[in-house]
Chains A and B, each alone.
Chain A
Amino acid sequence: MTDAVLSVEGLTAGYVRDLPILRDVNLTLRRDTLCAIIGPNGAGKSTLIKAIAGLVPVSAGRVMLDGKPITGIRPDQMASLGLAYVPQTDNIFRSLKISENLALVLRRVPDRATRLDELYTLFPPLAEKRGDRAGSLSGGQRQMLAVAMALASRPRVMLMDEPSAGLSPKIQREVLDLARGLTEKGVSILLVEQNVKQALRVADHCYILAEGRNQIDGPAESILSDPAVGEIYLGGRRVGAA
């Protein structure tokens, strides 16, 4: 049995004081696995990831990394803790060149030259376009750059918010396979995904979130057979539904 690398306990958080979006959310990510979070639009999936990253204020509960509390960390300290985050939208600096985007995230990495080479090897299209503005990249290449930026600091845990959104089915599969592949290289991944089928294909474990609360969770293979899943998506039988 692999142990928990990241865990969320009783988390309540929201953008405005006294207006929680997440209520009492619990979640565990085990080492070297891929854990998917799925749920309808507005469920609070992105908010959960942002709360872990310290971008949304937490009013109750805690976040533990390797058993140490990291609740409400300063987002700029994530990398030094081995945590990385790929946001859902606006996840690259469009006005900076590709090389500048990478130089920025690499500036605290001791062996930045080697790491940069590794990243360029991992993502050849980025190497090819290194002198271009990131805004000129195609959708798939943007996600590549976003993932490369997150990987720059060699994180142990990566939070990915819908990395496949807006991409063609083929590229979607590639991005998710890439994420899956990372788990074999010692990166544990918390992945938010819209496409349930794709998510379950690559995930080990899956949480379903709706209305800012945990609904059900279980191993990826068996969760689809749970009749509750469909109902949660259709709006019936939710925990905390009005």
Chain B
Amino acid sequence: MASKVYECISKIADIIIENKDFLTELDREIGDADHGINMARGYTEALGQLPQDESDIGAVLKKAGMVLLSKVGGASGPLYGTAYMKAAKAAAGKTELTVQDGKDILDAIIGGIKQRGKAERGEKTMLDAIIPGYEAYCAAADAGKDLAECLDAMCAAAAEGVEYTKTIIATKGRASYLGERSIGHQDPGATSSLLTMEAIRDWVRAL
């Protein structure tokens, strides 16, 4: 039987692969028209390579990170790859995750992406979805909500974050070559991060 963590990652993979053309179109507007192609290639490879019956969440996340580092091809490769590797460290040896684990994992992911991409919030990147998502998750956790409710709060804030990327100038990544012309378009990486968070939320809700 496939482990829960494998099921969850394959749910993310399905959503990303389903949205391949959408993500690529977003990247056509302000980048090099490959974000969906990159992400779908990485997750397709991950689906083939991940151990299905390994229940150590950290071990599976680490393997996923290694595959994404190598197979995505664009900036999102080292960024999501690093995010998964950092998440793996935070989840090492665990087979179940608590609300607090979710906090620790999100915190580790943000640290990893910042370190790898040297970006901050407000530069029109995936961080503009993930950081508000993390903050809303923490606020819900501190208010005593359960995991599914925390993930709902995270997704709602991340969706607002994606909307916000339409209003700002890109100062990191390919889109920064466009300067002011990047305004009006939503960031592809922020969008794939939102899709990832929603996939996790939907998977938890369906448990």
Q: Do A and B bind each other?
A: no
Residue numbers of A with Cβ under 8 A of B are: none
Chain B interface residues (CB < 8 Å from chain A): none
